[in-house]
Structure 1
Amino acid sequence: MKNLVWKILSSTYIHKGPWATLRADRCEMPDGRIVPAYFVLEYPNWSNAVAITEDGKILMVRQYRHAAQIVSLELPGGVIEDGEAPEDAIKREILEETGYSFDEVELISTIYANPATGDNHTYCYLARNGKKTQLQNLDDHEEIVVEEYTIDEVKQLLAENKIAQALHCTNLFYALMKLGKL
């Protein structure tokens, strides 16, 4: 198989922030050509879950997303903290955002939001038999409304393009396949 991997010769950081870092890589392509500045966004890794309650409802969260300036219907999830296992991160995120606890979650896919410009990946989980165990425990800048939907209702939301977050649509696709509900 032909080698397609570029060699990084050097990296220069342009901006470092808690949610996004921008660097410029000087690279050598397999045929020897030099790419003087390939810009890479470094983001933390994320996790999200199709979280199904013990009565068979899928938990969704509705919140404002400032970059796109939309109110977005999404799956629970978020950033994996430094040193945190992805499975622990998704259990924590679901609990914080919805108040539901899940003892077991299953990794069903690992995806990249945009591997051309971003280096992070998203762990997609299927969580089943969730139980309401506490109130939401939101971050300072979060305002999240928890909603519950049947599988058929979620499929209709997808068909009507009512779920804007592409990574969450992907997780829903894999979860519906796993559940035999496509």
Structure 2
Amino acid sequence: MSSLDWKLLRSEYLFRDNWLTARRDTCQTPKGKIVEPYYVLEYNDWVNCVAIAEDGRIVMVRQYRQGIGKTILEIPGGTMDNTDPSPEFAMRRELLEETGYDFEKLINLGSVAPNPASSNNLTHMFLATGGKKVQEQDLDENEEIEIVLMELEDVEQLLKENKILQSLHVTCLFYALLKLKELRLP
């Protein structure tokens, strides 16, 4: 198989901020075609998790999302901080901050690329089990998050009805459902 990788000839940063970095690249395809400009958005990696409390209910979160102008139901997750030593550490931190729950076990479900055509980051997905409420939420300045505990069957029904809008969370939910099925087999 021949390589389809592009060669990066030049990069120029157009905007740099805490939550968004944009650059304009000049690239060359394997056939020699120059692609200019090609815009890339740089983000820190993200984490998300299907979190199961010790009573078997799924810990969901409701929050407003400005991009689509709606309050939606999601799973816990967030952005990895530059100081987070690993995705697992970041996920445990996010779970504690957003939900106040600590979990006995965190199972890595893999990673997906949110938009590999124009974004550079990955989303690391987890399944957490044995959750216990150990503290109140410790939210960021602009966060207002409502905790919603749901039965697994109700979450599955929301998926069937296409009522969970955040695509990266839907992906994690499906991977978690597959893992739960695998774990329940003899």
How big is the shift at 1:159?
A: 1.1
Normalised by the length of structure 1, the TM-score is: 0.97
| 3-state SS in 1 of match to 2:121 | coil
Question: Which letter does structure 1 place at the counterpart of 2:81?
Answer: E
Give the SS at the match of 1:179: helix
Corresponding residue number in structure 2 for 1:112: 113
Q: Find the residue that maps to 2:31 and give its secondary structure.
A: coil
Taking structure 2 as the reference length, the TM-score comes to 0.95
Residue 109 of structure 1 and its aligned partner are, at CA, apart by 1.9
Give the letter for the 1:112 counterpart: A
Question: What's the counterpart of residue 54 of structure 1?
Answer: 54
* SS of equivalent to 1:9: strand
Question: Which residue does the alignment assign to 1:99?
Answer: 100
Give the drift of 1:104.
2.6
Q: Is the 8 A contact 1:20 1:44 kept in 2?
A: no
Partner of 1:79: 79
Other-structure match for 1:174: 175
Identity of aligned residues (%): 49
Unaligned runs of 5+ in 1: none
The aligned counterpart of 2:15 is 15
1:109 and 1:171 in contact (8 A); partners too: no
2:156 paired residue number: 155
Q: What do the CA deviations read for 1:111-170 (whole angstroms, capped 9, x no partner)?
A: 011111111110000000011100000011000000011110000011111111000000
| Count of aligned residue pairs for this structure pair | 181
Describe the SS at the equivalent of 1:23. strand
Match of 1:134 in 2: 135
| CA positional deviation for 1:72 | 1.2
Residue 103 of structure 1 and its aligned partner are, at CA, apart by 3.6
What runs of 5+ residues in structure 2 fail to find an aligned partner? none
